[in-house]
Structure 1
Amino acid sequence: MKNIIFILVLFVGVLSSCKKDDAPETPKEVVLSTENQIISFQLNIEGTLVTGSIDETNKLITLDTEDADVTSLVPIIEYSDDSTISPAVNVSQNFENEVAYTIIAENGDSNIYRVVVNNISSNTAILNFQLLINAKTYEGTIDNDSKTLYVETDYTLDTADIVFSLPEGTSITPVLEGTPNFYLPIEYMVTAENGEITIYTLTTKAYYFFDNNSNHLFYSDATAGFSGTGLDLTIPNSSIIIENEQNSYTIQNTIISNSSTYTNGMPFDAFRCTFPDNITTATDYKIKYLIDGEVKTVSDFNIDVLAENVPVITSLNQEKYAWNDILIITGENLPDIISIPSNGSLFIIQNSNSYDLTVNNDRTQLTLTLDYSYLFPSYFGRPEGEKTITLYGTNRRIGTTINTIFK
């Protein structure tokens, strides 16, 4: 009886065991990675590895370089396992601008890292500069080896302004404070982005004819006077020409009457000249100053030259003149006006209550009583001296001259 019970129990156990083996298994849960970080970011710049600083909070990677070419670099990036990155790490990028990398975790979560390269420069080279005067632009030349700047103008520099073009992040200031005086050399301090400093020296050359005579009317045999800045006729191959659209003449017989410098440093040059014998009548001549054939400046006023009916002086009645002497000029086409300089002034003389100047009907003789004491050096306690008498035509057109002695 006991054996029967044991067999039954064993049978039941076998059945129970078979039932468990036949039941299906529950599948295991798959866990995907959430990691999506850039762990390390480097750039290889000319063989040197520059490692970026990673700000996880702001997802910002910054690298500091100096004078580097970062326009086409393949980064070295270490990022989370089982994640993907875009753009691909083997693709070169232009890191002059911000570059964004997207890291996507295995589970699809993403992070976007911004890469910023702070590429500071030590460049202090001035790219270009211009001088601005009366809405006109004058391009300067730069010698970055000698650290010198040079510019020429055909106008005065009193109202000049200067504009520089510099590398990004670079600044420039005059070494000396205050309004710059472009007639004198000026030092400029150029500061690079990294703080490096270079000193440049600017030299400016101005060429300009002064319009200090409202009357530019001349007879063809007149001695004309002109002045300006930069008109240095002692420079080799420098010259003055007078021309219009029809004619051009080189003035050969120039006499430098004054070369000096104003207190602001502006050079002052004055010269006298006579016109070529074959110059023709015209009202629209310009004078030009040249060096080695290059025109440096052109007068902004016209010169009127008359070659017909020119007054001519053939003689004076005396070699020397004293107070109350009679001055008699003999010649042809003699005008009604003359000038006599004295004591730094120029006395314009014509018939009036002060002067009895007369010219005969044939215009061959001019007579004047020299009773104006200011005309004589002796009035000022000075010795006799040579004076230049000048003839003037209609509208005070300047004519020929003659020299004589006043006591």
Structure 2
Amino acid sequence: MQPVDVAIIGAGAAGLFCAIEAGKRGRSVAVIEHSKAPAEKIRISGGGRCNFTNLHAEPSNYLSDNPHFVKSALKRYTQYDFIDWVDGHGIAWHEKTLGQLFCDVSAKLIIEALVDELNTASGQLHLNTAVSTVEREGDGFRLTLNDGTGLSCQSLVIATGGKSIPKMGATGFAYDIARQFGLGVTETRPALVPLTFSGERLDQFKSLAGVACDTRTGNARKSFNEAMLFTHRGLSGPAILQISSYWREGEDIYVHLRPELDWFAELDAFKTAHGGQGLAKALAQHLPDRLAQALNAEIDAPGKLAETSSKRLREIAETLSGWALTPSGSEGYRTAEVTLGGVDTHDLDSKTMSARSHGNLYFIGEAVDVTGWLGGYNFQWAWSSGWVAGQCA
């Protein structure tokens, strides 16, 4: 391969967007991707329609040991800038709940537009090509590739993501390179991931597999008003994926079923009107029948609501408003949408995404210790961080 100004390892959202921006500046660019196709996470995201950004993207929607780090990139390249980019490529889109934006037709349109822009910017895309080693060479870098050839560059951008979904080729490559050049790596763990249970609780949830319910799910640090889904392994759905980023093993989560309801008022009114019926019937007015039956068995209420005191009704209402559950773990990187943690942002310049100790070494996207909420926020970080690095690399 010919020497290039900028080598980018990783042809995901961040890597491709960075390459495009660097190419627009007249820089010669090579993108190195070990998979057979670019941007596989874009392809599978959003059920194949790519939740490409969120109207509400702002720093408060991101987790990091250095929460101020995201501010510069998100301000300089916003969700509205990327919407303009999507519109400029004639890609139709629509808004779903909570500001989430999806392609009308297919995520592949985003990938095609990125590759087309890369070609227009005279960037090279090398697929099925892995990087074996990275070394300093003068003021730049030299990459040794899996076919035994090498590539030299002035600037090197690491855009290989985190460990989530290893079957798609995810590895800890970015963290290895960061450590090689003296940068810190914060603790990493699966995020936006289903939670698992064991024992009697798992048996209960298996019987509820496929049942969904609107909830407010949270812990001492955060809560989310979204749907929860019972599975054969435990709990999933948007509310669970969201809180998984804030959960630690051994901690409880608290589920408020149908948070818009005043459960005591609802139960008391049902008792007045239908005192001869049991709790399961009252719960089934607002919850899926299987869930109502399971909760009725767990709560162990008297047979008839007429025989239930107001004090006991309040206790039941409190349970429904704060059902304490203790996950045994998560499904891990196998199904995690993203990796929490990563290259320590204290060692990076937020205005350039470059390493403070190596001005021409850049880390962007999921590789960095920046993790967004569910709903397009992580793609926006990819666009924003990639754009910033592309202005400098």
Measured against the shorter chain, the TM-score band is under 0.3
Higher RCO (CA < 8 A, seq sep 6+): 2
- TM normalised by structure 1 equals 0.22
Quick check: which one's helix share is greater? 2
What is the TM-score of this pair, normalised by structure 2?
0.22
User: Which structure: greater strand fraction?
Assistant: 1
Which entry has the higher C-alpha Rg, 1 or 2? 1
